[in-house]
Structure 1
Amino acid sequence: MEYKVYLFDFDYTLADSSRGIVTCFRHVLDRHGYTSPTDDDIKRTIGKTLEESFSLLTGVTDVACLAEFRREYVKEADVYMTSNTVLFPEVEGVLRRLKAGGAQLGIISTKFRYRIRELLVAKGLDDVFDLIVGGEDVSAAKPSPEGVLIALDRLHVRKEDVLYVGDSVVDAETAQAADVSFGGVTHGVTTYAELSAYPHRLIMASLEELV
């Protein structure tokens, strides 16, 4: 399978940051008395914005309250996230093989760009990606196609030359909205059946299938 550009979601696609995410959510939720959400409940929100996640987990819809939850989460993440995030085993090899083959690589994520770069630097992969579009770079989060379209514009490529790879229904919807090919990976909590319900080029158990 050959595309000129491979764009990746981050959480549960390239990296398992669920331990860090659960820790940060748990600290904020417990602090405010929301003890009923389980770890699995938290994991099911990975890929959504922090405000969306907190609203789903707490039932809170007040904008100011959700903004405070978000602020507290970011402070927790500064402490716990990078040290509790690991790349999936095949990721480094796959990325370097794609890069060696002449492909351009990018990340489109709701996660902050600086947080992603922090991990990539720690893992020695900061030289692999041509761009990273984080949550602070867009006005509308996925499944809005804005992040993907920003990448296409910056990399000067056509939609047909792009494969967007992600682990969630939100990623599948993002690719569909951007009118680019989608490759699903079942690293996360979304099943093969859930991903394959959307237009796709392939659904993978491992990113090795890209190469």
Structure 2
Amino acid sequence: MKYQLLVFDFDGTLADSFGFFIGVFDQLADRHGFRRIADEDIDRLRGYDARQIIRHVGIPLWKVPGVAKDFKAMMSKEIARVSLFDGISELLQALVAQGVHLAVLTSNSEENVRAVLGPSNAALFSRFECGATLFGKRGKLRRLVADSRVPRSRILCIGDETRDADAAFAEGIAFGAVAWGYTQLDTLKAKCPDLVFASVDDIPHQLGLRRDSV
């Protein structure tokens, strides 16, 4: 297999949390003084990158860390509302069975990530880089790569947002876009990802995992 280390985003890639995000957005908007999202705007906003969404709802950049902190706290209190996408557990087990190393790179908290993964899945990951600022994934990715000592050519980042792609490409690492996350696939394709995964089941097939391990 070409890749020795897979770096997964969490929300929208491993975890199906978009419904929770939309469900608490109005509470966050009222608490922090920015615009709510109208139902008819949701699909359009999924075609935006993070900076465009921030501008659309009118969040000053200085408020972003506080909003993110509250979102993570709200998720922690209602963590049962968030689950892994179907097939993720089996995928992670198959990857590790073939000697692939796994890492998580996310803006969410390690507490939330571990709670949704569950103990058995969490144990499959060799590295958790959590709590990245909205535009701070590159720095955490750089540290992760340096500590891993895996050549950049053998690392693949997998995510559902344009900022995942930006961080990967800025560090000279391949990026795989997923079709089931927060951001519309056409928007991700505009970033020219190295791989595009139409479904969770598409990941092992495109990465060349042996059939007996999938």
Distance 2:129 2:84 in 1: 18
Distance 1:146 1:13 in 2: 20
Name the counterpart of 1:207: 200
Aligned ranges 1:1-211 → 2 under 5 Å: 2-31=2-31, 36-38=36-38, 40=42, 44=46, 48=50, 55-56=54-55, 58-61=57-60, 63=62, 66=64, 68-80=66-78, 82-121=79-118, 124-135=120-131, 141-142=136-137, 145-211=138-204
Q: How far apart are residue 168 of structure 1 and its match?
A: 1.8
Q: Structure 1 vs Structure 2: percent identity of aligned residues? A: 25
Across the two proteins, how many residue pairs are aligned to each other? 202
**Do 1:13 and 1:166's aligned partners in 2 also have CA atoms closer than 8 Å?**
yes
Q: How far apart are residue 71 of structure 1 and its match?
A: 4.6
Distance 1:68 1:175 in 2: 26
Distance 1:111 1:46 in 2: 20
Secondary structure of 1:146's aligned partner: helix
**Do 2:48 and 2:183's aligned partners in 1 also have CA atoms closer than 8 Å?**
no
**Do 2:155 and 2:173's aligned partners in 1 also have CA atoms closer than 8 Å?**
yes
Secondary structure of 1:135's aligned partner: coil
- 1:174-208 C-alpha deviation (Å, 9 max, x unpaired): 21111111111111243333222223321111132
Q: Which residue identity lines up with residue 59 of structure 1 in the other structure?
A: G
- 1:99-133 C-alpha deviation (Å, 9 max, x unpaired): 000010001111122211122226x3121111110
Q: Which residue identity lines up with residue 17 of structure 2 in the other structure?
A: S
Distance 1:105 1:94 in 2: 11
Q: How far apart are residue 53 of structure 1 and its match?
A: 9.1
TM-score, normalization by structure 1: 0.80
Distance 2:13 2:166 in 1: 15
TM-score, normalization by structure 2: 0.79
Distance 1:156 1:131 in 2: 13
- 1:137-156 C-alpha deviation (Å, 9 max, x unpaired): x79523xx222222212222
Gaps of 5+ in 1: none
Which of 6-15 and 21-30 deviates more? 21-30
Secondary structure of 1:198's aligned partner: coil
Classify 1:93/1:55 alpha carbon distance in 2 versus 1 (closer, same or farther; 3 Å): same
CA RMSD of aligned residues (A): 3.0
Classify 1:71/1:146 alpha carbon distance in 2 versus 1 (closer, same or farther; 3 Å): closer
